Chains A and B, each alone.
Chain A
């Protein structure tokens, strides 16, 4: 609710601020829905289809203390977090230079464009057999799946950041005596940072979404692996717990990125 005297608020972005009260309401609404579908002795969804709230809560503590198949929830989470972060770091390290190359050179853009556009839509799951053949059944194939998930996003974000630089800024820098390297370092890179940050946030989301596929085989640890194994034994309580933990970590990481963004690139959107 706004107490301004504006007569036009619909379509005014400054009137659309975050509203913690509504955040709480929306989470409460979800919980209410969960309670409703499990209400009574003959609930809408039975326990084989969807676990109850109480049951999930107990499962969560059981997973924390005793674990599932002798691996605690904490160990599953740490394994997944490590893989996601490694994948994101490698994806960013590869993606930014490729995106920059595509934004800076006609030739390289011509070379990389078809590669990026052809490979980007391939779902990671389809690549799993090949990745296992190439990188083995161990960690490498899993991390590489997550690199795959994030690298295209990072390439496109970095390219957009480079192409978004205003010509007059580059011209001004040349007239002030900057050489090509300095233009890259002091003009193009800082100008691209907001887009790169957005890319990292999107890539994080995609990476968590790819986790189950990445941890499908060859590991006993990781939230994705836990969910997959539990689903084969119809342990829906564990599946839902895993899903909630993944969602929760995703939200925390996005909040952390937003915090970093406000600190590191306060100029975003103010050029």
Chain B
């Protein structure tokens, strides 16, 4: 089991017309293996940048990132990635999409088939193996994306608003699936979301991020994810503790949004 850590990470984007954007400023944290971290914050707070740095798609302009003590210098299959949508390969069917990672690793046909069969069961898509991606609903496509990422048995799963494009009911079901996968596999998960409720419900740990420059504003350790599978999710989300936290976070983020608006009006 490998811990994820960032120390003093800075990310500055140079703009083509001059000037620069400070997307992340002096971000440091350590995440123990097996935790589920949610990243929450207003647009422009750098949460997706942070995720892309963890994935290795972006190299930070300062500081260091590591997984299990090994520095992260590029994308790797120890860190699986789930995107919002459109990242599945529509020229392959469901089973081929899930088998993509093992195929790239030149696993045998029979072992690929076993992995696919197991994972179709895990994400609740038995019998859908030979369906085309574009025949599936949005929620089912995200199930395929989860299965595809699990097929390589990564240490960490990075999720960039994986449920953002789904309708409210499907989204709730998928949240429970994420929790189930987390519990069953014990993998480290980092999930970026815009939804306060989702961040609270899924986050065993939650970072509230703030913009200009992007930074971690507040860290919460939360009890909800731990019990989320054992109780009715709606009941949990209606409990006083949950509501209290939700309002606290909402007012914090609204505060930030207002500051941004004020800032922009001042700038104009």
A contacts, CB < 8 Å to B: 166, 168-169, 171-179, 182, 186-187, 190-191, 193, 265-267, 270-271
Binds A, one of B32-40, B81-89, B164-172, B218-226: B81-89
B134 touches A176 (CB 8 A): no
- Cross-chain contact of B86 among A166, A182, A190 (Cβ < 8 A): A166
Contact B87 A169 (CB under 8 A): yes
Q: In this complex, what residue of B is CB-closest to A177?
A: B77
Pair count A-B, CB < 8 A: 75
Q: A175-B55, A176-B80 are in contact. Are A267 and B90 (CB under 8 A)?
A: yes
Query: How long is the Cα–Cα vector from A187 to B88 in the complex, in angstroms?
Result: 10
Evaluate whether A176 and B101 lie within 8 angstroms (CB atoms) in the complex, with A171-B55, A171-B75, A267-B132 already known: yes
A-B contact pairs, 5 of them (CB 8 A): A173-B104, A176-B77, A176-B104, A177-B101, A177-B105
**Candidates A176, A266, A267; contact of B148 at CB < 8 Å:** A176
Q: What CA separation (Å) do A186 and B103 show in the bound complex?
A: 10
Q: Which residues of A contact B133 (CB under 8 A)?
A: 267, 270
**B57 interface residue, CB < 8 Å from A?**
yes
How close is A164's CB to chain B, nearest CB, in angstroms? 12
Q: Name A187's closest neighbour in chain B (CB-CB).
A: B89
Expressed in whole angstroms, the Cα–Cα distance for A174 and B77 within the complex equals: 8
CB-CB under 8 A for A266 and B57, given A171-B87, A173-B100 = no
Whether A267 pairs with B91 at a CB distance below 8 angstroms is yes
In the complex, the chain A residue whose C-beta lies closest to that of B103 is A186
> Are A171 and B81 touching (Cβ within 8 A)?
yes
Quick check: A169 and B89 within 8 Å, CB to CB? yes
Q: Which residues of A contact B57 (CB under 8 A)?
A: 171, 174
A270-B77 in contact (CB<8A): no
The answer to whether the Cβ of B187 comes within 8 Å of any Cβ in the partner chain is no
CB of B76 closer than 8 Å to a CB of A: yes
- Chain B: which residue is nearest A183 at the CB level? B104
For residue B79, CB closer than 8 A to chain A, the reply is yes
The answer to whether B87 and A168 touch across the interface, beta carbons within 8 angstroms, is yes
Give the 3 A-B residue pairs with the shortest CB-CB distance, closest first: A176-B101, A270-B134, A177-B77
Q: How far is the CA of A33 from the CA of B239 in the complex (A)?
A: 79
Residues of chain B within 8 A (CB-CB) of A172 are 81, 83, 87-88, 148
Give, as a whole number of angstroms, the nearest-CB distance from A30 to chain B.
Answer: 39
**9 further interface pairs, Cβ-Cβ under 8 Å (given A177-B104, A267-B133):** A173-B104, A175-B76, A176-B80, A176-B149, A177-B105, A191-B91, A266-B132, A267-B134, A270-B134
